[in-house]
Amino acid sequence: MPHHHKAERPVQASTDEAERLARAEKNARLKKLRTHASWLVLDPQAHFREEIDCSALFGDLPIRKVGRDG
């Protein structure tokens, strides 16, 4: 199917605008995050555990509900 020009497809134009707005919002959040991160100071007294919690990667998959003791 040939590619149509955006002027011929108002739905595509609104989708492009939505994507542009989403990118702008994401960039604004990243800028704010970098601003806050710049205030962080390394605490040499902090205790770090050598463990990585990957639960956020799995969302609400049933695998998270499996107990370790059985």
pTM (2 d.p.): 0.40
Residue 69 has pLDDT above 60, yes or no: no
The pair of structure tokens assigned to 35 is 């601003």
pLDDT in tens, 6-60: 555 677 889 999 999 999 999 999 999 988 888 888 888 877 777 777 777 777 6
Cα(22)–Cα(28) distance, integer angstroms: 10
Cα(19)–Cα(7) distance, integer angstroms: 17
